[in-house]
Structure 1
Amino acid sequence: MSTNTVPNGKPVKSTDLHIGAAEPGCKKRDPILVAEGVSRTFGGLKAVDVDHLEIPRGAITALIGPNGAGKTTLFNLLTGFDKPDTGSWTFEGKSLAGMPAYRVARMGQIRTFQLTKALSLLTVMDNMKLGAKGQIGENLFRALLPFLWRKQEEENEAKALDLLARFKLDEKKDDYAASLSGGQRKLLEMARALMSDPTLVMLDEPMAGVNPALTQSLLDHILNLKAEGMTVLFVEHDMQMVRHIADWVVVMAEGRVVAEGDPHEVMKNQAVIDAYLGQHHDEDLGADTEHVEAIKELLDDKL
């Protein structure tokens, strides 16, 4: 069992998040997202085959697994960027199955991408303002009447400036997004996501391609999301980072959920070791303590 404390936030014990044993598909005390029987096949490959999955509210959940486990495909399905072969899922008790991505976002479930989607030929500020929802000026008729939307535009710009300052991008507000470094684009995408006041933030490999100098900054921002009352679900490979910030871990392999639980306990799970390093049915690892320890150390590095 672990307890993660966040700035200005309450500690979360992994035992407070679930009901019964910590196992694949276990019930959560207060789930914000529930998926049931979700599957997606590409040709003869079943990329996602999730029987049941619940994401706990108010916590940081890490979705981990080897390459090709189906993590990003599951993200795409849950956020409306892809359509499943079977299954249903709910967010805040409302069905999202078949709902397009823009409507999912409007409901408060926002995602970022492993490859950032900043609009390169727009300025940083314009990228931020695009993230605001319910903009009056988006209507063609109302767009011709500035007095209807000018005040809202000013409020959105002030909010964007505040967020950019938090992410240390305020001095870049007039620069084109194309001029930002990879890490700065990650920060911009996360800041833009917050323009819509989301309830659930889904981050697809937020640390991928990020300069080590910005890694701690991104970690702090993820922790702050939780401190501000948001739920976070993120895909990550670095178990050191996962252990540092995650309250709960879900492990996928070959499209299925093979383990769930406390970050420190999951690392010791044989199903997780098998998923990352291959199954060892033909080898008696129990007779070779040094070999077992070497595998655990390798797992620690790879996760």
Structure 2
Amino acid sequence: MPRRGDVIGLGLFVVFCVVFPLVAPGSLVNVGVYAMIYAIAATGLSLLMGLAGQVSLGHAAFFAIGAYAQAILVTRYDLYGVLAAVVAVVIAMVVALLVGIPLLRLRGHYLALATLGLGIIVTVLATESEFTGGTSGIYGIGKPEFNSRTYDSPQEFFWLLTPFVVVAVLLARNVVQSRIGRALGAVNDSEVAAETLGVDTFRLRLQVFVLSAAYAAVSGIFFAHWLAVVNPNTANFPLSVKFLLMAVLGGLGTVWGAVIGAFGVEFLDEGMRELIPVLVPGAVGEVQLIGFGVVLVVIVVFLPGGLHQAWRMVLARVRRPSGDVSEGRAEATEDDSPVMVREGRPVAGSVLLEVRGLTKQFGGVTAVDDVTLDVRAGEILALIGPNGAGKTTCFNMVSGVLAPTSGTVKLNGVRTDGRKPHIFAQLRATRTFQNLQVFRSATVLGNVMVGRHLRARSGLLRGMLVLPARAEERAVADAAYEVVRLVGLEGERHRPAGELPFGRQRLMELARALAVEPDLLLLDEPMAGLSSSERRALARLLRRLRAGGMGIVLVEHDVEAVLALADRVAVLDDGRLIALGSPEEIRTDPAVVAAYLGVDEDDTAARTAARELAAQVEET
């Protein structure tokens, strides 16, 4: 969201918070207090689901932990309320950290079920433990007191909550627009692509999980003071469903949407309390829960982006088209000078990548069989072969996307086989993909800025506070712009990445990889979908990168283009390395001609050479 929109939204919300308690009936203000309390927890859940992509069906567990911890500390240990709140939040964050380490290794519905189980566990513990008061809970919790003033009326409590909700929203907004938020948005679009750019997805998801638990704990603390009693219902499943509905109704990942969703759900809840007994005489809470479920299904089916999506649709209809959103395509430079030269890069000719005996089996099928080769700094090594020869599988093993069955991979002398792709990127190597992996939620420049993830250092805390990270963010944007300009996408840098033509998306993916400032670059069919002029420009750029000392491994089906560009060529056939040499040697190699380029039936010399080579490989 633009900063101007933030200021306007913040101003409108503050005005609403000041005026609402003055003009609304007391019953509605009371509902508004609950909406404000729950908005804090819903904002944290919106970050967890919309930003980190983790579905939680047990978020009320952390709400209950914060509420119970606060209640115990202030009633039994007479701890000062503010200090007790800090301790309660820390307790919730520690619990989230301990349970998040195993839980966040799960994906999809497995994680959702695991978090549901967490909520059930907390509910059972609160019910059965005498320390938590059993089914009766803990009562006698006093109203908050500041500056000799007790906030015991709905109006005053509403106003007390206002600055906390505003701060919670602003901090969440800062996270969304920070280096961490940018990386997590990329993870949601393509986890494997984000990892190959150096994003440690597990670590970031764990951080946001802990942060969302802190939000829920703060919400639980206010709930305990407002209701003056905490019981096992604070951890039950219906409350988790309510938090989920608030986040989805407002729009996942949109922090203001969570606040709007909280008010919407609370007023909907109040309406259902009055309407359902009229429609279904004798109806109880379970029927109301069904009503929430129906609303949630309708939103997911017809408005998956929540109210935020509806608002954007309205704006799109109101605003007139302003013509071409791009600023014109920048012409590719004809310069042949070296680019991306980096101080400290391995000297030309030194070995960057060592692959030894690389093998990958899928069940009884051997996709890659005992491949051994080196890649040097300042060279372009082409990897060619028929479809199904194992080229992309080799790339996946080298980059950490797949673990090899056997064999080793060393990058700059460090073994990387079987390790995660972000380790590969940390050692200054990255890749592009045969099937495009575009971060569709970001612009072209935003995609390339993700490639600068390892070149920046601001974490979650600095991102939330903004000011310490502002200079770094400007440097990241400037460096990303230079790479975008290098590939000729300068005029389209503000376009949504998903709107680019296929060939331009290829160039954007290359720019994103170059933003890592790699010493080793793996390109999987980078010329696919490019026009003839774009192919020539890309070939020139690759030569300039090679002149700058970068090592490049290129998979490409355009054999003539590869042979004209590469310094050395490796040929795979049926998962085996059948030839490795200069382009001139590969052109005339009978085994390559037989296996890859095809030969006439009468060309017995080439066919015999291929059979003899295969027999030699079998003997070794």
TM range (shorter): 0.7 to 0.9
Q: The residue matched to 2:417 in structure 1 has which SS? A: coil
1:152 CA drift (Å): 1.1
Alignment of 1:80-95 (within 5 A): 80-95=400-415
User: Are residues 277 and 234 of structure 1, via their aligned partners in 2, closer, same or farther at CA, if it must alter by over 3 Å?
Assistant: closer
Q: Does 1:136 align with 2:465?
A: no
* 1:1-303 map, 5 Å: 7-8=336-337, 30-132=350-452, 133-137=454-458, 139-276=459-596, 285=603
**Offset of 1:34 from its aligned partner?**
0.8
| Unmatched runs of 5 consecutive residues or more in structure 1 | 1-5, 10-28, 288-303
Matched residues in 1 for 2:476 and 2:460: separation?
19
Structure 2 portions without partners, runs of 5+: 1-334, 339-348, 606-620
**Conserved in 2, the CA contact under 8 Å of 1:31 and 1:54?**
yes
2:469 alignment partner AA? W
Deviations 1:150-190 (Å, cap 9, x if unpaired)?
11111111111111122221111111001111111111111
In structure 1, how many angstroms separate the alpha carbons of the residues matched to 2:434 and 2:517? 21
Cα 1:185/1:51, change in 2 over 3 Å: closer
3-state secondary structure, aligned to 1:117: coil
Conservation of the 8 A alpha-carbon contact between 2:402 and 2:418: no
Report how far residue 230 of structure 1 moved: 0.6
Measured against aligned partners, the alpha-carbon deviations of 1:78-106 in whole angstroms (never above 9, x if no partner) come to 00001111111101111112210011112
AA at the equivalent of 2:603: L
Comparing 194-203 and 215-224, the one that deviates more:
215-224
Q: Which amino acid aligns with 2:456?
A: Q
Deviation of 1:42 (Å): 1.6
Matched letter for residue 183 of structure 1: G
What one-letter code is carried by the residue in structure 1 that aligns with 2:336? P
- TM-score by length of structure 1 reads 0.81
Q: Secondary structure at the match of 1:49?
A: strand
Shift of 1:286: 5.3
**Partner SS state of residue 116, structure 1:** coil
**TM-score (structure 2 length as normaliser):** 0.40
* Structure 1 Cα separation of the partners of residues 551 and 409 of structure 2: 17
Amino acid at match of 1:285: D
Question: Per the alignment, in what secondary structure is the counterpart of residue 144 of structure 1?
Answer: helix
User: How many angstroms does 1:206 deviate by?
Assistant: 0.7
SS in 1 for 2:588: coil
Amino acid at match of 1:136: R
Amino acid at match of 1:48: V
Structure 2 distance, partners of 1:167, 1:205, is 16
Asked if the contact 2:377/2:519 (under 8 Å) is kept, the reply is: no
> Partners in 2 of 1:63 and 1:237 — Cα distance?
9
CA displacement, residues 133-164 of structure 1 (integer Å, 9 cap, x when unaligned): 14333x22221222221111111111111111
Which residue of the partner structure matches residue 12 of structure 1? none
> 2:361 and 2:579 mapped to 1: Cα distance?
22
Whether the 8 Å CA contact 1:136–1:148 is kept in 2: the answer is: no
Moved more, 34-43 or 195-204: 34-43
Could you tell me how far 1:211 is from its partner in structure 2?
2.5
Give the whole-Å Cα distance in 2 for the aligned partners of 1:206 and 1:88.
26
How far did 1:116 drift?
1.7
The root-mean-square deviation of aligned C-alpha atoms, in Å, is: 2.0
Query: Does the 8 Å contact 1:124/1:174 carry over to 2?
Result: yes
Deviations 1:249-273 (A, max 9, x none): 0011011110011102211101101
Counterpart position of 2:272: none
Residue 136 to residue 30, structure 1, CA distance change in 2 (3 Å)? closer
Rg bigger for which structure? 2
Give yes or no for contact 1:136–1:142 (8 Å, CA) kept in 2.
Answer: no
Change (3 A) 1:164 1:88: same
8 Å Cα contact 2:412/2:427 also seen in 1: no
- 1:15 paired residue number: none
Indicate if the aligned counterparts of 2:563 and 2:569 stay in contact, CA closer than 8 A.
no
User: Taking structure 1 as reference, are residues 51 and 166 closer, same or farther at Cα in structure 2, changes over 3 Å only?
Assistant: closer
How many angstroms does 1:279 deviate by?
A: 8.0
| Structure 2 contact 570–579 (Cα < 8 Å) conserved | yes
Shift of 1:197: 0.8
1:13 is aligned to none
Partners of 1:33 and 1:49 in 2: how far apart?
A: 18
> Is the helix fraction higher in 1 or 2?
2
Identity %: 36
Q: CA deviation at 1:200?
A: 0.3
Q: Select the structure with the greater relative contact order (CA < 8 A; seq sep ≥ 6).
A: 1
Contact 1:71 1:252 in 2 (8 A): yes
Letter in 2 for 1:267: R
CA distance in 1, matches of 2:336, 2:370: 34
Q: 1:93–1:150: structure 2 CA closer, same or farther, 3 Å change rule?
A: same
Instruction: Give how far 1:119 is off.
Output: 0.9
CA distance in structure 2 between the aligned counterparts of 1:285 and 1:222, rounded to whole angstroms: 36
Aligned counterparts of 2:378 and 2:597: Cα–Cα separation in 1: 32
- Conservation of the 8 A alpha-carbon contact between 1:136 and 1:143: no
Counterpart residue type for residue 111 of structure 1:
R
